[in-house]
Structure 1
């Protein structure tokens, strides 16, 4: 068994958190091809992305309470089994409807990875150190989506698109075996929660009435939805509009992921020194400026591939700064229901992203404008979430804590 605080544990947890990005990024180069091979419209093909995040969102509401009651490991293994089976199901799909169904099932299994991977880090490292470790894990797991589109693009040169899902099924099987035999349970007996429906509802009610939780969750969700806007539109914009070959799409995507990695490294290095909120000011400002710059160029009909990629690199730097900090901020105060907090955060994040992805797909105009408008709006909303919700709520909490401390001293 790996030690809970070992690098090996962080690496394997990063590999399960990466299930979501891998399940979307690897087959992005194949999206335009699916329109012809499965005789489907662009709208239908993009549903395979949005339905994934819809399933991802809904299932998380179940994973959290189950993991708080029965432990992280057993629930995670159940999700991994489903993900593996559904991945092979995707590979056998012969119609777009079948692919949509198996993508939904794949999402139900995959979402256990991010929810329970984050929760296990919170269990092991506590509310303070978890932000640093989540940033480190974000840097590590970013290698997967950086490589995934390149691998997917080159697989399309040799194999059918179904080979991508066979690869994901094999990946899922390997990770399942490692978790089963090498990773320890992280839930402490004193933190086990009741699975009674009223207890679950009370926990969710407590979270929904916490301005701190809502602020961090919305900020995380909006910045992630900006990333998902790029995922939904980039293959059609880069391959169809700018004429990028399928095999080369992954290299442009890798440049974008490197932006995320640099942001995550900045967050890891300076998070303890600056604190969560100062990192959020920097990150959400980056997101707003870079997204607006991409939109402005598109509205002026200055269509330049490198400008689009450059703006998205800076936006992804913001994503790398913001997401680990907001996750730690949202889960930090809730040690006895960390799984439920992680699940509700993930539900909100994936649900908003799924809706945004459907809007981007439905309104795609053949140019970068719709994608850029969505990215810009999500950056602005993440910035607004900080200034209008997080800052006032945390300032009030610090003031209340200060008053309580003064009373104790007197």
Structure 2
């Protein structure tokens, strides 16, 4: 197999990219609708955040299952099944007349999106030459991160013109597009009847300190930002008085930072090396922690200042995650699918639990949001330190 991709491989990669965009946007696209959902369904902050938490929890548990199902029955059947479940959930959300219907739809969306969310990375490993895999995974991670960053921006304007149902219509259309294209262009590969689907197969990964430190560093970095994104609509629009028409500008500035860092990360890593770019990213996260403490103790209520400070966290995520993720998949031999599933599932369950806790103790200020982000990043630095003690030659 040559290093150059043929037309079929390029089309397959485009389909995988579209699935990664859906996976990244699915969680955060509708969060700007939180204030409207509170009013329509008469919900508390805790109850409206539950529409996010139940989705993430379903994604978490489904990820543990689809990782093994993908090895047992093949990649394509698992992805197609997941997209069908996601589409059904999207219908429930679009036509929800009561809160429980919306909650059930979000549960199905989370359970269904786990298929493409976990297995899409494995299609790259199955389909493309070894020389291309790390490069394409970097692009894929960048697209997913960018989708996560831009989703609240797009969602704020969709909500402004089409109300809360509009965002679920967008997800429904994207889900149907992914389902159609995957059915046509993603090849069916032979299944492996000897592959076990038992959760016990994850034991070898969980028992590896190196794998756990990789996952801890990656998951906690992403978690620190998702906590902010999950609560930001209520903080900005309900308590800081930012109109929905302006909320997109604040989210857009962070999305622009993600975009610039994501799509230039490959150039900078090639130009300056993994070590220098990793140090830059972790340094930006450290600067955010310091500025975050200043926000907490000063009681700042200016949304512009808060947004500027969070930009440092956005910069701090891109390089470390894009560098460590491909390396983490080789932390345990012959366990790429399980490591990918564990990273995905733990990321979502920790995000769901943390957002629910923060929304429960939320007092209308940035204080508890900032404190939670500070503690999460503190744990991340501990995991990162232990990772480098466990594997000293990561960047060699």
TM-score by length of 1: 0.87
Distance 1:332 1:128, change over 3 A: farther
User: How many pairs are equivalent?
Assistant: 392
Partner residue in 1 for 2:321: 323
Deviation at 1:265, TM superposition (A): 3.4
Deviation at 1:288, TM superposition (A): 2.9
Q: Following the alignment from structure 2 to structure 1, what is the Cα–Cα distance between the partners of residues 71 and 240?
A: 48
Distance 1:213 1:228, change over 3 A: same
**Is the CA contact (8 Å cut-off) linking 2:69 and 2:197 kept in structure 1?**
no
Q: Describe the superposition over 1:76-95 as per-residue Cα deviations: whole angstroms up to 9, x where unpaired.
A: 11101111110111112222
Partner residue in 2 for 1:41: 44
Partner residue in 2 for 1:405: none
**Is the CA contact (8 Å cut-off) linking 1:60 and 1:344 kept in structure 2?**
yes
Q: Following the alignment from structure 1 to structure 2, what is the Cα–Cα distance between the partners of residues 349 and 396?
A: 26
**Is the CA contact (8 Å cut-off) linking 2:142 and 2:262 kept in structure 1?**
yes
Distance 1:296 1:5, change over 3 A: farther
Partner residue in 1 for 2:13: 10
Q: Which runs of 5+ in 2 are unaligned?
A: none
Question: Where does 1:6-405 land on structure 2 (aligned, <5 Å)?
Answer: 6-125=9-128, 130-185=133-188, 192=192, 194-196=194-196, 201=200, 203-271=201-269, 279-334=277-332, 336-388=334-386, 390-395=387-392
**Is the CA contact (8 Å cut-off) linking 2:96 and 2:102 kept in structure 1?**
yes
Distance 1:172 1:322, change over 3 A: same
Distance 1:4 1:377, change over 3 A: farther
Q: Following the alignment from structure 1 to structure 2, what is the Cα–Cα distance between the partners of residues 378 and 398?
A: 25
Secondary structure of 2:163 counterpart: coil
Distance 1:275 1:101, change over 3 A: farther
**Is the CA contact (8 Å cut-off) linking 1:147 and 1:250 kept in structure 2?**
no
**Is the CA contact (8 Å cut-off) linking 1:91 and 1:162 kept in structure 2?**
yes
Q: Following the alignment from structure 2 to structure 1, what is the Cα–Cα distance between the partners of residues 371 and 341?
A: 29
Deviation at 1:314, TM superposition (A): 1.7
Deviation at 1:212, TM superposition (A): 1.9
Coordinate RMSD, CA, aligned: 2.7
Q: Following the alignment from structure 1 to structure 2, what is the Cα–Cα distance between the partners of residues 204 and 330?
A: 15
Distance 1:3 1:68, change over 3 A: farther
Q: Which runs of 5+ in 1 are unaligned?
A: 400-410
Deviation at 1:127, TM superposition (A): 7.3
Distance 1:37 1:383, change over 3 A: same
Deviation at 1:298, TM superposition (A): 2.6
More off after superposition, 262-271 vs 236-245: 262-271
More off after superposition, 170-179 vs 126-135: 126-135
Secondary structure of 1:341 counterpart: helix
Distance 1:6 1:314, change over 3 A: farther
**Is the CA contact (8 Å cut-off) linking 1:221 and 1:353 kept in structure 2?**
no
Deviation at 1:52, TM superposition (A): 1.1
Deviation at 1:262, TM superposition (A): 2.9
More off after superposition, 76-85 vs 371-380: 371-380
**Is the CA contact (8 Å cut-off) linking 1:77 and 1:176 kept in structure 2?**
yes
Distance 1:284 1:124, change over 3 A: farther
TM-score by length of 2: 0.90
Q: Following the alignment from structure 2 to structure 1, what is the Cα–Cα distance between the partners of residues 186 and 300?
A: 51
